[in-house]
Structure 1
Amino acid sequence: MRFRPSIQLAFVSVVIVLIASAVGFRATVSSLNLYLRKEPVALQQSLDTIPTKLGRWKRVGLDSRLGEAMVESLGTRFYLDRQYAIDGNPANGVMTLHIAYYTGMIDAVPHVPERCWGAAGLNMVNQPAAILLPIDQSKWDLVSGPKNVSTGVIYPTAKVIDLVTRREEVVYMPIGETEMSVTVFQDEQNSSSRLVGGYLFIANARFTSSPNVVKTYAFDLSSRSSYYCKVQCSMFVNESEQPVDKWSELTADLLSELLPSLMRRLPDWTLIEASQSKEN
């Protein structure tokens, strides 16, 4: 079947326009230093090297390993599922810590746990609410770090002890408020306790409790690379103990010890910012 010359000419013209548009779009994106596809950033250390003792918190049992179906649902193989208790004694209450790391993704929607808790047969008592945790920053240096390129805010610094060399190291802490999105669930089989769970994200070294804001931070078009990390804490608390207040107190205590060690394992975003600044 042959088309008339006028139709062939129109088809060729459309193809030429599309090719020119694609080339022009790429050239424009390149000239503006915009990055639509993010380069992955490797962890500095595996998440399972986070100390099993964090202040007065000690690991209970062994780290959990997820099945393939759960890993696929989670969307990453870089995760840590671990339980801690004060003095390692489950009688003091067991805090389940879940950390998941994502990088090299294109505008992905972060996995949030509310559906998982609901699917486990728990009934949601309240809608997720942002709660500011009183993280102990008394040992942080809040004024001597470099500035975040996007905001101009100074990175706080903290010190950790390397488990191998036993040397003290300085790590750069995320900027922003340590808010967690918190939800309370009730188990119909145990009406005397509540499951309180909350999570926050660290995206390109910035805190947020909002999955939508994660996309804003981690998929900033001006950044060549990106990552985000979800930190989730959940615990059964007796209803008579003001569950959210009790959970907030204990979670803040655990995270105060955890965050410097976690940042030692996440990418050093100050180095990535410095490298990109030199390229530009």
Structure 2
Amino acid sequence: MEIKGKAGVITGGSSGIGRATAERLAKEGAAIVVADLDEAGGAETVKRIESAGGRAVFVKADVTKLEDARRMLDTAMSKYGRLDILHNNAGIGVGAPGYPDAPPERWHLVIEIDLQAVILGTGLAAPLMQKNGGGVIINTASMAGLYPHRQDAVYGAAKGGVVNFTHSLASWEAERKIRVNCICPGIVDTPLVRRGLELAKQHGIKSWMPSKIIQPEEIADAVVSLVRDDSMFGCSLEVRPTGRQIVDPRPAPGSRR
């Protein structure tokens, strides 16, 4: 997809991966809706985009709520006349103390934000994208969705759901002209990760920060590559500090799978 002239919605766009992706897509010529509960952070993302000559607007939205999710997507249509890109990026972890010691409400919230909101946003975006001939949806999953994640099993379960959900929508490319992919980063240097490390330290948990950590801008670059590459659909892009690897579960031509 050619990014210039398109419109996109980025959830969790007030900081970290969401902010980096919003700025990068805006730099490439897309108009951006920054969606988040953090109004101050969202306003800062918009300011940074506009200062660089881009177009952006902030929408305060709880991605787990139907009306909020619908409103953030409708804003792209009303403000820019189209919706071409959705980055379902908002996410949280259980944090310390972890499962099963954390309150059940915390586990539920992780599933609601990290998985259910992805399903909700994708379902609401599809008919809007089809009005302009299709689009691209990128879901932020994690390497925790591809491999066992002992530090946060519930987070891993949610991200594993995102990966399988993404792979299961490979047929949308032919049926709806919508390509759905997911990005699976290792540990990224974001405010969420830093807060998690501090909370773990307070609970006497040894730091799990690796010696080499991924920067949000590296994930933004990977998201842009998925948006641009029309051959990519129903796939995961694993991002490690050492490089990228495609996880492509689509069956080979002629397969009965």
Establish whether TM, by shorter chain, passes 0.5.
no
TM-score by length of 1: 0.28
- Rg larger for: 1
Between the two structures, name the one with larger relative contact order (CA 8 Å, sep ≥ 6): 1
- Which has more strand, going by share of residues? 1
- Which has more helix, going by share of residues? 2
